[in-house]
Amino acid sequence: MNAQMHFATIGTMILCGLAMGMAFDVYRVACHRFSVRRWMLPGFDVVYWAAATMYVFRALLHHNFGEVRLYVFLGIAIGITGYFGLISPTAIKAISRLFRIGQSICLFIWRIIRTVLIVPILWIVKALARLADVVFVVIAALILWIGKLLAKPLGKLGRWIWQLLLPVRRALRPVRDFVHAVRDKWRAIRDVFKRKP
């Protein structure tokens, strides 16, 4: 491996260190901004370090065929130290501002969507619900009114049929009385057996 490739690899690792520092600041600001629970942080840390490792390894594969040397770690350390010593405070302010701008843009878009789509749809749904209530009340009133109209002749017809069946009802009265008497006797016998211990 020639000297040019060594210097290219060291420069790449310094850039990787800077990128890792920037990604870590974005991660910290996002966790603070979205109030991530403390018990979730170890899982996010594992994801961050796994992504950073894959990123560095991919850069190594591209520049020196994946050979891990001491200067690789030295370049990463220089990049991370330089980032946190020189750039991190300014980067955190810029990242926080970008998050605020992004949140404002998302809120603005949500308000537009709500005003243009959601509010009219809700208004239409409420109007249809009120219309359905009115239609239901009107139909129920019509059914009751028609029922009353039909009940008058049908009621007269029912009373007339009931009067016609009067001889039949009188003829069946002894049968009905006998059934009632048997039922009363059966209940009395059942009550006697229930009282016994």
Dump pLDDT digits (tens) for 129-167. Answer: 888 888 888 888 888 887 777 666 666 666 767 677 777
What letter would DSSP give residue 83? I
**Domain residue extents for the chain:** 3-102, 167-197
**pLDDT for the residue numbered 40:** 83
- In terms of Cβ atoms closer than 10 Å to its own Cβ (0-12, 13-18, 19+), residue 87 is middle
Contacts of 73 (CB under 8 A, 6+ apart): 13
**pLDDT exceeding 70 applies to what percent of the chain?**
88
Q: What are phi and psi of 108, to 5 degrees?
A: -65, -45
Confidence band of 3 (pLDDT split at 50, 70, 90): low
The whole-model pTM stands at 0.54
